A and B are shown apart, each in its own frame.
Chain A
Amino acid sequence: DAKTTQPTSMDCAEGRAANLPCNHSTISGNEYVYWYRQIHSQGPQYIIHGLKNNETNEMASLIITEDRKSSTLILPHATLRDTAVYYCIVRGDYGGSQGNLIFGKGTKLSVKP
């Protein structure tokens, strides 16, 4: 089962930053934090991942606290098309079969005009 805790839902105004929190208090040293999203009925889409440093790409930024027990995904200028379920997943570099992505319930983000 997923080892993360996320709010069930969040709203965000169009054009504003969307900050999606995730708690992963039992994360271990070799586990990465991944974020995916699923827009209604489509396949999940990879967004970003990180280990301990903050990361940024063309889609989002990932801020990981120094103790690594929580993180925040930031969509800097949310649009209506960002309305989706966002999944925070902890996954280790274990090798073999133990590194599969396990999806929890995620956060349903609604971007409103």
Chain B
Amino acid sequence: NAGVMQNPRHLVRRRGQEARLRCSPMKGHSHVYWYRQLPEEGLKFMVYLQKENIIDESGMPKERFSAEFPKEGPSILRIQQVVRGDSAAYFCASSSRQGLDGYTFGSGTRLTVV
């Protein structure tokens, strides 16, 4: 039973390019959460999705960032026109029953903007 799969593990983008981060939840999990961790800082909630629905995007920057969780396929976190300040580790978590039994986190994608 594979855990939460995130890819790529490392992503390097030049300023102005687009970054696409993928997250496949654990089998049977229909709730997905994205968190961002800046260097030497804590985890910050970004967005919570269920299949085809954004439930809570209160932590998402207003511009350049978007997320989706389509009916088929992984959840995607998309960052357009990346800037150096977007360099961070992005973690995805999944859960069943809205996480009452805990979230399972992936290993993260380390985004470096050069």
Partners in one complex: yes
Which one, A34, A91, A97, A105, contacts B48 given CB within 8 A?
A97
Say which size band chain B's interface belongs to.
Answer: 20 to 34
Taken together as a complex, chains A and B put the C-alpha atoms of A45 and B103 apart, in Å, by 8
Q: Is the CB of B108 within 8 A of A34?
A: no
Q: Is the CB of A104 within 8 A of B55?
A: no
How many inter-chain residue pairs (CB < 8 Å) link A and B? 56
Q: A95-B98, A99-B98 are in contact. Are A44 and B105 (CB under 8 A)?
A: yes
Q: Is the CB of A101 within 8 A of B55?
A: no
Q: Is the CB of B107 within 8 A of A34?
A: no
Interface residues of A: mostly helix, strand, loop or mixed? loop
In the complex, which residues 83-113 of chain A have their Cβ closer than 8 Å to any Cβ of chain B? 91, 93, 95-97, 99-106
Which one, A43, A91, A97, A103, contacts B106 given CB within 8 A?
A43
In the complex, which residues 68-114 of chain B have their Cβ closer than 8 Å to any Cβ of chain A? 89, 91, 93, 98-108
Taken together as a complex, chains A and B put the C-alpha atoms of A106 and B40 apart, in Å, by 13
Which one, B33, B58, B101, B106, contacts A101 given CB within 8 A?
B33
Q: Is the CB of B56 within 8 A of A97?
A: yes
In the complex, which residues 41-91 of chain A have their Cβ closer than 8 Å to any Cβ of chain B? 41-46, 49, 91
Say which size band chain A's interface belongs to.
Answer: 20 to 34
B-side contacts of A105, CB under 8 Å: 42
In the complex, which residues 12-47 of chain B have their Cβ closer than 8 Å to any Cβ of chain A? 33, 35, 42-45
Q: Is the CB of B56 within 8 A of A46?
A: no
List the interface of chain B (C-beta within 8 A of A). 4, 33, 35, 42-45, 48, 55-56, 58, 89, 91, 93, 98-108
List the interface of chain A (C-beta within 8 A of B). 32, 34, 38, 41-46, 49, 91, 93, 95-97, 99-106
24 contacts between A and B (CB under 8 A): A42-B108, A43-B91, A43-B106, A43-B108, A44-B93, A46-B102, A46-B103, A46-B104, A46-B105, A49-B101, A93-B100, A95-B98, A97-B48, A99-B98, A99-B99, A99-B100, A100-B56, A101-B45, A102-B45, A103-B42, A103-B43, A103-B45, A104-B42, A105-B42
